[in-house]
Amino acid sequence: MDINLPNTWLKVKLGDICDITYGKGLLTSKLLPEGYPVFGANAVIGYYSEYLYELEKLLISCRGANSGTINMSPPKAFVTNNSLVLNFPAFEESLSKLLFFFLQACNKEKLVTGTAQPQVTINNAVELNIHLPPLNEQKRIVQKIEELFSEIDDGIQSLETAKKQLEIYRQSLFKNAFTGNLTIEWRNTNYNLKDYSTLIDHYQQIREDDFLIKLQIWKQLNKKWEKDQSTIKPVKPSKLKKIIESSKNGVLKFPELPNSWNYVRLGFLIEDPVYGTSKKCDYESNDGIGVLRIPNISEGCIDSTDLKFAYFSDEEIASLKLANDDLLTIRSNGSVSLVGKTALVRSTDTDKLFAGYLIRLRPFKQHVNGKYLHYAFESQFVRNQIEFLAKSTSGVNNINSSELQSLIIPIPSLEEQNEIVNQLDDLLDTNRMVSEQLEVEIKKANHLKSSILTKAFSGQLVPQDPNDEPASVLLERIKAEKEEELAKANKAPKKSGKRKIKTTKDDEPAQQELI
């Protein structure tokens, strides 16, 4: 903030108006399930038997990705050395609140240094330029900011609540779609539907017929290849894998479906799943073939903005090629909520291949609508199955191809699948547009808060009072108190002798993580 300030204000260094120290190191093994809160890099990370500070403290996160984040510790808290602690004179309680707002708005380029490992040092913080208003104006500024922020935060909370309600509505759409309630009227005007008792046999037969067709085509191509070998050697179709049958007890726990529907294992609706390539990809080989990875699976679609490349043989391309309405699903991730997330492949994506943490699911298109399956994967009904199978205590959650094939999908006729997709497209588009508009309003509200802070620390938010004691007098008083505290510290008796450190077999701090 390089601006002209009112005459009664001062530009000072942060170190001129407060003492700055690191929090204390604490072994992770010392954390307790209850006690006094321990504040880490950006939040309470546990509890401890002691506290460092009676009152809340203004903190600056000083290590890692959170460097430069401004926080207030809870009262009676232990603050770790992942944060700098700002200590103000006893008579200046309003100053910590003022700086809490100022530090959020100031330019942090000189505060946060380092690229690979961002950090804030005490020296960086001490040298940070601060706009210091008179004491009484500080109080007026803080009061006005809190008043305006309270109104804005109430508005943001209402917008966030509306977004959550939209997500609830979205899931209710999926629930109605995959229990047949969304298309009740459509079924009432379409009477020529397969009975559920023959529908499941129909889907089981599809898979076997598809395999026999592929096997016959392979035989013809292989016979031709053996004669001239001028083309790529055809790959023989793999034998059909056994698909786990659904138990009657398992199905009985699921919602009741219309008579023309049935629960079918996913494996009967798709070709055998295919894992992606394990070949190393990079940004340099951009004359190779684009390879889709987990970051390219975004909001149900393929996002090719962050694409890596690699070179492949004709055989590899034939095995990993994509087709319109294929599904790519994430098979492994640290976040279980991402495992099983799918993206629907469109014609613009079929020039790319896919990497090993993705699995290709190819529906039998003459009987199954690929987008219907994609929406089914978004439903809570299927998500519950995926997360039950994928969840792990090791930190990496995973679902394999056999488990994917075992998922139970509520399935109607192809005609009704198409109708469900059409209705969901319209309803979800409306839902998405409203959600995006809410997000725009939330960003506007946060921008308004930034504008308020800019006005506040340029002397434009509240009126100046010519009777206010100028900031220069306040600064002299702060300096006097700091000098008094320093003199007291110098007069205090110093302990002599070397400190003896006791260690036990259980202590070994070098082998434990400090926070």
pLDDT of residue 200: 61
**More confident call, 408 vs 241:** 408
Backbone angles phi, psi at 337, to 5 degrees: -70, -20
Mean pLDDT on 279-293: 89
CB atoms within 10 A of CB 10: 18
For the chain, what is the largest distance between any 2 Cα atoms, rounded to a whole number of angstroms? 103
The per-type count for the chain, helices as H runs and strands as E runs, is 13, 22
Tokens of 463: 């009126």
Is the pLDDT reported for residue 247 higher than 60?
no
Sign of the CA dihedral with 477 first, then 482, 483, and 484 last: positive
For 52-81, what is each residue's pLDDT tens digit? 999 889 999 998 888 999 999 999 999 999
> What average pLDDT does the segment 477-504 reach?
67
Q: Residue 249 above 70 pLDDT?
A: no
Other beta carbons less than 10 A from residue 457's beta carbon: 24
Q: Which string of DSSP letters, residue by residue, matches 203-233? A: HHHHHHHHHHHHHHHHHHHHHHHHHH--SPP
Q: Give pLDDT, residue 246.
A: 45
pLDDT of residue 509: 43
Alpha-carbon gap, residue 19 to 280, rounded angstroms: 51
What confidence score (pLDDT) does residue 502 get?
A: 42
pLDDT computed for residue 107 by the predictor? 82
Confidence at 494, pLDDT banded by 50, 70, 90 = low
Predicted confidence at residue 185, as pLDDT, reads: 93
Close Cβ partners of 375 (under 8 Å, ≥ 6 residues apart): 174, 177, 178, 420, 421, 424
Higher confidence at residue 243 or residue 506? Answer: 243
Answer whether residue 364 shows pLDDT above 80: yes
Question: Hey, what amino acid is at 252?
Answer: L
Handedness of CA 465, 470, 475, 476 (dihedral sign): negative
- In contact, 124 and 13? CB cutoff 8 Å: no
The more confident residue out of 253 and 27 is 27
339: exposed, middle or buried (C-beta count within 10 Å: 0-12, 13-18, 19+)?
Answer: buried
For a pLDDT cut of 90, what percent of the chain falls above it? Answer: 61
Least Cα distance to 102 among 148, 124, 67, 70 occurs for 70
Q: Give the mean pLDDT of 141-169.
A: 96
Whole-number pLDDT of residue 194:
59
**498 token code pair:** 């070397």
Task: Give residue for tokens 């056994």.
Answer: 242
366-399 pLDDT, tens digit each? 889 999 999 999 999 999 999 999 988 777 899 9
Q: What is the pLDDT of residue 206?
A: 75
Q: How confident is the model at residue 504 (pLDDT cuts 50, 70, 90)?
A: very low
Neighbours of 318 (CB within 10 A): 13
Predicted pLDDT of residue 505? 44
- The answer on pLDDT for 248 being more than 90 is no
Per DSSP, 365 falls in state T
pLDDT at residue 99, rounded to an integer: 92
Highest mean pLDDT of the ranges 222-236, 312-326, 481-495: 312-326
Structural domains in the chain?
1-134+469-483+509-515 (3.90.220.20), 194-411 (3.90.220.20)
DSSP string spanning 170-198? HHHHHHHHTTTGGGHHHHHT------HHH
Give the separation between CA 107 and CA 121, rounded to whole angstroms: 16
For residues 80-112, one letter each, b for 16 or more C-beta atoms within 10 angstroms of the residue's C-beta and e for the rest, the string is bbbbbbbebbeebebbbbbbbbbbebbebeebb
How many Å apart are CA 480 and CA 487, to the nearest integer? 11
Where is pLDDT greater, at 501 or 429?
429
Average pLDDT of span 268-273: 90
Closest CA to 194 of 422, 424, 367: 367
Greater model confidence, 295 or 253: 295
Alpha helix (H) ranges present in 229-332? Answer: 248-252, 314-320
Q: H/E element holding 398?
A: strand 397-398
DSSP type of residue 466: T
354 bridge partner residues: 292
User: Beta partners for 398?
Assistant: 332
Residue 318 has pLDDT above 90, yes or no: no
> Which two three-digit tokens encode residue 61?
């996160």
pLDDT of res. 417: 94
pLDDT at residue 511 tops 70? no
Cβ partners under 8 Å of residue 70, min gap 6: 58, 59, 60, 61, 100, 103, 104
> What 3-state class would DSSP assign to 111?
coil
Cα separation, 383 vs 244, whole angstroms: 19
Helix (H, G, I), strand (E, B) or coil at 260: coil
pLDDT band at 507 (very low <50, low <70, confident <90, very high): very low
Angle made by CA atoms 308, 309, 311, in degrees to the nearest 5: 160
DSSP string for residues in 10-78? EEEEHHHH-EEEE-B--BGGG-BSSSEEEE-SSSEEEEES--SBSS--EEEE-BGGGTT-EEEPPSSBE
Give residue-wise pLDDT tens across range 185-244. Answer: 999 888 666 555 566 667 777 777 877 887 888 788 788 777 777 667 777 877 776 665
DSSP annotation of 367: T
pLDDT at 92: 63
3-state SS class at 501? coil
Q: What is the pLDDT of residue 14?
A: 93
Question: Which is more confidently placed, 86 or 1?
Answer: 86
pLDDT of residue 506: 44
Q: 87 pLDDT exceeds 50?
A: yes
Distance CA 490, CA 476 (A): 21
Q: Which residues pair with 129 in a beta bridge?
A: 13
**Total residues belonging to the chain:** 515
Q: What percentage of the chain reaches a pLDDT higher than 70?
A: 89
Condensed to tens digits (0 to 9), the pLDDT of residues 122-139 reads 999 999 999 999 999 999
Given a contact cutoff of 8 angstroms between Cβ atoms, the answer to whether 281 and 353 are in contact is: no
Q: Would you state the pLDDT for residue 452?
A: 96
Select the more confidently predicted residue: 224 or 51. Answer: 51
pLDDT given for residue 369 in this prediction: 96
Name the helix (H) or strand (E) containing 434.
Answer: helix 414-456
The pairing of strands 327-330 and 342-344 is antiparallel
